[in-house]
């Protein structure tokens, strides 16, 4: 191991007391806290039955949702495999528990911190036959230790924004990443593939975005129907995955239009639309509630009750229910794109059949937004005021809204297939099972054509 890796490990050791304190504070009252801390140090407890284990790492909520179509497909095609899905954040772990709690062949845990000893212990405990890293969660010791132990790693659904690419290039002298440790890379787009190759990745093909293959779970749809019955015919606008600085701007825009809607005699509905705000991070739920109160708006919290007909705002202070909020909404305004946060994924709204509006800052999903705008499936505007006015127009002109929904369905259908292409990418490192060849997965990878 080079000197730089020794220094890197020493920094992790120095950070150990702070990490331990942070973990204890975050997991206060959790009876499984001790086990969770052991997982951070690479101690993974797996059932004893003899099974090949595939390790899938999905750092947080977005990556976990993206992994869901792939996890379902692996369970169908390789039913004898055990899937070990690891996360870095509590919200990622909770999302996975909601998705896969019913399946005993799927084990969830926290991923180890990136000290060489903890990573080596994790690999020795889990003994994966294959590791699949979702998107771009790249850690130096993960790559090095997997390569040393002969564990093939695949980077799946990989995306790399221009900003992240520049950051990797700027700091690679400090601790170079062994991109060649990935035996295969499935990139979301041609631009992602080009940037990954420039950093040293090999065997890069464009497989597409797994999130195009996502469809809402029946439980999310049922929950949305329950909410709709309680709310009635009142139209609903959801501000989803909102970030710091965004809610205040939307509340200011909403106040003016709410008054206008309330005073209009020709409005189609008896009550003005309900604004549903779903903050991206749970630690901001209370902060956003105080902000709504300061604006003098009547509101309730999802954790307390369903909205009352006279409420102006419903605060979505719950985790794992984003698709239910999308399925409930008549219009979805995608947060993270109105301040410089890089945006959130608009495909989730499209999958729920809800037309999305995004702001000017969509760097993290640049190609998806560009393609969606060109296909008239996504609408991009500059300001919260414009977004609210567009939501108003769609509510008052349902034919225009229906046209955007139809374009969204066509857009999704045209870009689906990333799951099958990713399965083909993984096939050389997975054991064939009876009937495998007949299910159409054997054979070479068929990458998506790259745009030039």
User: Which residues are tagged catalytic?
Assistant: 63
Nearest to 101 by CA among 71, 77, 145, 73: 71
Q: How far out from the chain centre does Cα 350 lie?
A: 14
Q: Three-state SS for 19?
A: helix
**67-97: b (≥16 Cβ within 10 Å) or e:** bbbbbbbbeebbeebbbbbbbbbbbbbbbbe
Beta strands in 88-225 (DSSP E): 106-110, 128-134, 153-158, 182-187, 204-206
| Nearest-angstrom CA–CA distance, 128 and 154 | 12
Backbone angles phi, psi at 4, to 5 degrees: -65, -35
β-partners of residue 155 are: 133, 185
For the chain, give percent helix, strand, coil, nearest 5: 50, 15, 35
Tell me 310's DSSP state: T
Of 32, 100, 91, nearest to 69 by C-alpha is 100
Sign of CA dihedral 150, 151, 152, 157: negative
> How many other β-carbons are positioned within 10 Å of the β-carbon of residue 142?
25
With contact defined as beta carbons under 8 Å apart, do 349 and 332 qualify?
Answer: yes
Phi, psi of 239 (to 5 degrees): -100, 105
Cα 62 off chain centre by: 1
| E strand or H helix that includes residue 33 | helix 33-40
């Amino acid at each position: 191991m080079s000197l730089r890796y020794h220094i890197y490990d020493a920094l992790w050791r120095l950070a150990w007391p702070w990490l331990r304190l942070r973990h204890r504070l975050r997991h206060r009252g959790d009876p499984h806290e001790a086990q969770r801390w052991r997982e951070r140090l690479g101690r993974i407890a797996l059932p004893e039955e003899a099974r090949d284990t595939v390790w899938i790492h999905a750092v947080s909520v977005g990556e976990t949702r993206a992994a869901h179509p792939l996890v379902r497909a692996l369970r169908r095609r390789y039913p004898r495999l055990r899937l070990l899905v690891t996360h870095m954040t509590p919200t990622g772990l909770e999302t996975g528990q909601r998705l896969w709690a019913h399946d005993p062949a799927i084990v969830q845990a926290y991923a180890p911190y990136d000290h060489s000893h903890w990573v080596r212990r994790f690999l020795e405990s889990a003994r994966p036959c294959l590791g699949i890293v979702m998107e771009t969660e790249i850690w130096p010791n993960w790559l090095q230790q997997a390569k040393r132990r002969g564990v093939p790693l695949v980077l799946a659904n990989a995306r790399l924004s221009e900003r992240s690419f520049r950051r990797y290039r700027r700091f690679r002298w400090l601790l170079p990443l062994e991109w060649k440790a990935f035996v295969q890379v499935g990139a979301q787009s041609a631009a992602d593939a080009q940037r990954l190759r420039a950093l040293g990745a090999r065997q890069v093909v464009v497989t597409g975005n797994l999130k195009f293959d996502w469809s809402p779970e029946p439980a999310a749809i049922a929950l949305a129907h329950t909410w709709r019955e309680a709310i009635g015919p009142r139209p609903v606008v959801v501000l989803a995955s909102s970030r710091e600085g965004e809610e205040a701007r939307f509340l200011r825009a909403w106040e003016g239009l709410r008054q206008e809607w309330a005073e209009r005699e020709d409005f189609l509905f008896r009550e003005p639309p309900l604004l549903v705000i779903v903050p991206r991070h749970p630690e901001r739920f209370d902060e956003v509630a105080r902000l709504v109160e300061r604006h003098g708006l009547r509101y309730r919290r999802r954790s307390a009750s369903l909205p009352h007909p006279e409420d102006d705002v419903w605060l979505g202070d719950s985790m794992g229910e984003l698709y239910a909020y999308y399925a409930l909404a008549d219009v979805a305004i995608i947060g993270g794109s109105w301040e410089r946060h890089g945006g959130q994924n608009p495909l989730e709204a499209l999958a729920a059949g809800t037309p999305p509006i995004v702001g000017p800052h969509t760097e993290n999903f640049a190609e998806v937004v560009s393609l969606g705008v060109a296909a008239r499936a996504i609408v991009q505007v500059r300001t919260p005021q414009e977004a609210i006015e567009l939501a108003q127009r769609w509510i008052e002109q349902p034919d225009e809204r229906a046209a955007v929904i139809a374009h969204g369905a066509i857009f999704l259908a045209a870009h689906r297939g990333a799951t099958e292409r990713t399965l083909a990418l993984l096939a050389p490192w997975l054991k064939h099972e009876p009937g495998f060849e007949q299910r159409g997965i054997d054979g070479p990878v068929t990458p998506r054509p790259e745009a030039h």
